[in-house]
With several copies, the nearest count.
Chain A
Amino acid sequence: MENNIKIEIDNKLCNVSVVRVAITSLISQKDVPLDEITEIKTAISEAVTNCIEHAYEEENQKVVISAKLSTIDDMDFLLINIEDFGIGIEDVDLATTPGYTTKPELEHAGMGFTIMETFMDEITIDSKMGSGTKIKLMKKLRTRKVSNI
């Protein structure tokens, strides 16, 4: 069993909440605890905000989010890809250092990647200078199972 959703947004900050509600609605098909939903929302918010804040100079660029909810052997997994086609990340190790940001003047905390790592089970960063960045996030859901007793 699996369920797929793909969302393509313009690079506007007001669209980050559109993605959050859509993914929340998707996950809610499973009986996932509220705190886990909040943490997943936060991780996605970080990744999407990054594409909008760091990837592009121009407007009317795209960010693509695809989410897959899949059940394997009674376990539920959420896989999310967040992709932009912007400038890319030069040094991924440096970028993922807690507190590192190239936009301190805009009060970025430099904690986006740290939060994604903390709140998800797995993160893969695939970035190429000049062609874009793709973040893969994975989480095994703490789905409440209906007991048969």
Chain B
Amino acid sequence: MKYTYDKENESLKLELIEEIDMNSCKALRSIIDGYIIKYNPKECILDLNKVSFMDSSGLGLIMGRHSLIKMLNAKLTLVGPNESIKKIIKLSHIGKEIRII
């Protein structure tokens, strides 16, 4: 996973790739949390531009990170979800709580 930490803005950007399903989620979860805990950023940006497929397990992944990030008084931003992923996110309540660009 590519990551960029912007010191000035205290923002951490993580670039997810390929398919997010229940199988890949388990590994993704601990890697993402590892970065968040290491940098304790004010903002965490999940870049979904390269994610071609995501099902509801990805929703669970995002919701879980959202909870963690809220506890750390930071905010979560999603960048570049494709149309089907956008639809899925909007189906759930986090669609209203998270900034999507």
Q: Which residues of chain A have a CB within 8 Å of any CB of chain B?
A: 13-14, 16-17, 20, 35, 38-39, 41-42, 45-46, 49, 52-53, 98-99, 106-112, 114-115, 118-119
The 3 closest A-B pairs by CB, nearest first: A13-B23, A109-B60, A107-B60
Q: Are A112 and B84 neighbours in the complex by a CB distance under 8 Å?
A: no
CA–CA, A99 to B92, complex, Å?
A: 8
- 29 residue pairs bridging A and B, Cβ less than 8 Å apart: A16-B21, A16-B22, A20-B53, A35-B83, A38-B53, A38-B82, A38-B84, A42-B55, A42-B84, A42-B88, A45-B53, A45-B55, A46-B56, A49-B55, A98-B91, A98-B92, A107-B29, A107-B61, A107-B64, A108-B56, A109-B57, A109-B59, A110-B56, A111-B56, A111-B59, A111-B92, A114-B91, A118-B91, A119-B84
SS class, residues of chain B in contact with chain A: helix
CB distance from B99 to the nearest CB of A (A): 19
- Taking residues whose C-beta sits less than 8 angstroms from the other chain, chain B's interface range is 20 to 34
The digit string for B57-68, where 1 denotes a CB below 8 A from any CB of A, is: 101110110000
B50 on the A face (CB < 8 A)? no
Please name 5 further chain A to chain B contacts, defined as beta carbons within 8 Å, in addition to the given A38-B82, A42-B88, sorted by A numbering. A46-B55, A109-B57, A109-B60, A114-B56, A118-B87
